[in-house]
């Protein structure tokens, strides 16, 4: 998997509770979107699947998100899914570390 390339955007002048994400890679660079509903669905084997809805806020003139091929659309959704996993992982790692006030064993 290639390194994910994105920026998290917050507008200090707007009451935003959900950050916008701007993709900065070569293929989808300039697309700005945000996640709407995010959920985990657990199956019978106690495996969780991440489900999410998103909204495209802005896209560059040369990228028509609605006209992506099925393969490109799948790649786009995989990319933003991987970004969401990375954001969740970083957030939970930070929360766990903030809650652990003990001295590290390292």
Q: Quick one: average pLDDT of 30-38?
A: 94
Q: Quick one: average pLDDT of 22-47?
A: 92
Scanning the structure block, which residue is given the tokens 């985990």? 40
What DSSP assignment string belongs to 16-56?
-SS-EEEE-STTTTT-EEEEEEEEEEE-TTS-EEEEEEEEE
Q: Quick one: average pLDDT of 52-72?
A: 93
- pLDDT attached to residue 102: 56
Q: In what order do the strands lie in the sheet with 20-23?
A: 6-9, 20-23, 32-42, 48-58
pTM, full prediction: 0.79
Residue 65: how many CA atoms within 13 Å on its side-chain side? 16
Share of the chain above pLDDT 90, in %: 57
Query: For residue 106, is pLDDT > 50?
Result: no
């Amino acid at each position: 998997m290639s390194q994910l390339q994105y920026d998290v955007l917050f507008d200090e002048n707007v009451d935003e509770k959900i950050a916008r994400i701007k993709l900065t890679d070569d293929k989808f660079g300039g697309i700005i979107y945000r996640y709407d509903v995010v959920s985990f669905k657990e199956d019978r084997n106690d495996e969780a699947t991440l489900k999410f809805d998103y909204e495209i806020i802005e896209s560059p003139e040369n990228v028509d998100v609605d006209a992506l091929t099925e393969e490109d659309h799948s790649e786009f959704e995989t990319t933003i899914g991987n970004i969401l996993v990375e954001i969740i992982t970083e957030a939970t790692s930070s929360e766990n570390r903030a809650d652990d006030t003990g001295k590290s064993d390292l």
